[in-house]
Amino acid sequence: MKGFSDLNINGNTPVRVQPESDEWGTKRVPSVSQKKRARALVFVATIISATAVGLAMKFFFDILMLG
């Protein structure tokens, strides 16, 4: 998966310097699985939206051309 960014917010930092679950409010940081789900949802929503726009354009084009 070279095309995607690294979803691990800690990167290569040592464990001793990574924030614990309470420290710095990291409880509200989404997990890696939530980020992956959101990425997939955005992809699917984009495809559905593009398809809907294309179908609407075809519908109105047919109305204009066929009368």
Phi-psi region of 21 (alpha: psi -120 to 50; beta: other; left: phi over 0): alpha
- In the chain, where the domains are located: 31-67
Model confidence at 47, pLDDT cuts 50, 70, 90, reads very high
Does the structure show a pLDDT above 90 at 14? no
The DSSP 8-state label assigned to residue 3 in this structure reads T
Predicted TM-score (pTM) above 0.95: no
